[in-house]
Amino acid sequence: MKTEADLLPLSPQAARAVGRLRPARKIGRQIFVFLAPFVLYGLFLLYNGVNPWELYVSMVRSAFGDWFGFGETLIKATPILLTGLAAALPARAGLINVGGEGQLAIGALLATMAAVWLLDAVPAAAGIPLMLFAGALGGALWAGVTALLKVAGRMNETIASLLLNYVAVFLVGYFVHGPLKDPHSFNWPFSPEIARQLRLPVFDGTRLHIGFLLAIAFAVLVWLVLAKTGTGFRIRVLGGNRIAAERAGIRVSLIYAGVLLAAGALAGIAGMIEIAGIEGRLRPTTGATYGYLGFLAAWMAWNHPLRLLLTSFLLGMIAVAGNELEIGSGLPSSSVHMLMALVLFFLMGGARGRKA
């Protein structure tokens, strides 16, 4: 096992010493942690015949260069922000919700059902809020299954919510291939298009819809609840020390169920926004991977709702770059997932010893 010994460069003492490095070196290390994944991914791109420098330049330029590109980034960041909140809020209570993926899917499903079956002729002023409610309800229902398994069944919520993601995807598949299939779709698996007036208003010159304002409002709301209310205090106490919370008479099960339901509702709203803001109809792949991206964004933000604004924007930027990569150089857009994973790996590696 000699090779493994080589991989253990630092003893615990040395690790602590690194923590006390002089500020200059600390900053240097942070820059390294930030740049290293881009360099590594750049090498990978070079190997595949893509000029990484051009990609990174165009990534920044498209994100900040004009309103359209900025809008595209915000469009991608919106669902990531909401599913990020869906991971961050339970995390503050000590729960790990990886079910954003499924909660988003079921939210999108219920929102589409409501829009197609009930709200076809309802004006926007009532229709959009109702559709939003349906989405939130769908997400909360799905998270409710996790909550039930956690609170009543004492099951580990990480595994339960992960497994439910797969169930949710098949459930959406059942509906778009069956009861919710567009009769004019020539057998393609998607739902009918939702009514024109139910689409979210769009900013001129971009595809950006007002959903992102909603997402930001929710981020601020979650922050306010966590930081300024009694409920938020109880959530944080529970997350900090479960035993202490129990001794202090905090109703643990109630808070667990509450944060999971709220998280599900947030992810469900992300699903509704995807339908009403972007896609207009439900497909089997609507919102795919946003749930996981949200979890990663939340992790990068140390589960802080306002820092999450920043990290979801960053991941949104990388996601847009993925589309460009696909159009411009024929690499599959999934290859940027590698870049995201690398960014996270280095962050995790760099944040040594912080609440392991």
Partner 1 sequence: MIADILTGALRSGTSVMLASQGELISERAGVINLGTEGCMLAGALGGFATTVWTGNPWLGALAGGLCGMLLSLIHACLVLDRGANQLASGLTLMFFGIGVTAFLGRSFVSEQIVGFNPAPIPVLSDIPVLGEVLFNHDPLTYLSMLLVPALWFVLFRTRIGIILRAAGEREEVLFACGVNPRLVRYAAVLAGGFLAGIGGAQLSVAYTHSWVENMTAGRGVVAVAMVIFAAWRPFRAMLGAYLFGAAQALQLTVQQQGLPISPYFLFMAPYVLTLAALLIVERRKRSSVPEGLSRVFAADADG
The contact set with partner 1 (CB under 8 A) reads 1, 4-5, 7-10, 15, 90-92, 94-96, 98, 149, 153-156, 158-160, 162-167, 170-171, 173-174, 177-178, 239-242, 292, 295-296, 299, 302-303, 331-332, 334-338, 340-342, 344-345, 348-356
Non-local (6+) Cβ contacts of 11 within 8 A are none
Q: What is the CA radius of gyration of the chain?
A: 22
Residue 47: CB minimum distance to partner 1, A: 11
Environment class of 202 (CB within 10 Å of its CB; exposed 0-12, middle 13-18, buried 19+):
middle
Nearest 5 degrees, angle CA 75-CA 316-CA 98? 100
CB 164 within 8 A of CB 102: yes
Nearer to partner 1, 132 or 160 (CB): 160
Nearer to partner 1, 49 or 153 (CB): 153
Q: How many CA atoms lie within 13 A of 334 on its CB side?
A: 2
Residue 292: CB minimum distance to partner 1, A: 6
Q: What is the largest CA-CA distance in the chain?
A: 71
Rounded to the nearest 10°, the torsion over CA 265, 267, 269, 270 is 180
Nearer to partner 1, 156 or 253 (CB): 156
Nearer to partner 1, 134 or 263 (CB): 263
Q: How far apart are CA 213 and CA 139, in angstroms?
A: 20
Residue 204: CB minimum distance to partner 1, A: 35
Environment class of 99 (CB within 10 Å of its CB; exposed 0-12, middle 13-18, buried 19+):
buried
| Tokens coding 291 | 């749930």
Residue 12: CB minimum distance to partner 1, A: 10
Q: How far apart are CA 157 and CA 99, in angstroms?
A: 9
Residue 301: CB minimum distance to partner 1, A: 11
Q: Which of 108, 89, 151 is nearest to 283 (CA)?
A: 108
Residue 306: CB minimum distance to partner 1, A: 16
Nearer to partner 1, 23 or 178 (CB): 178
Nearer to partner 1, 155 or 310 (CB): 155
Nearer to partner 1, 130 or 337 (CB): 337
Residue 155: CB minimum distance to partner 1, A: 5
Nearer to partner 1, 32 or 174 (CB): 174
DSSP 259-317: HHHHHHHHHHHHHHHIIIIIISS--TTTTTTHHHHHHHHHHHTTT-HHHHHHHHHHHHH
CB 53 within 8 A of CB 42: yes
CA distances to 28, 111, 114, 182 from 117, in Å: 57, 10, 5, 12
Nearer to partner 1, 38 or 292 (CB): 292
Nearer to partner 1, 195 or 270 (CB): 270
CA distances to 30, 41, 80, 216, 345 from 37, in Å: 12, 6, 21, 28, 8
Residue 17: CB minimum distance to partner 1, A: 15
Residue 28: CB minimum distance to partner 1, A: 18
Residue 25: CB minimum distance to partner 1, A: 17
* CB neighbourhood size of 156 (10 A): 13
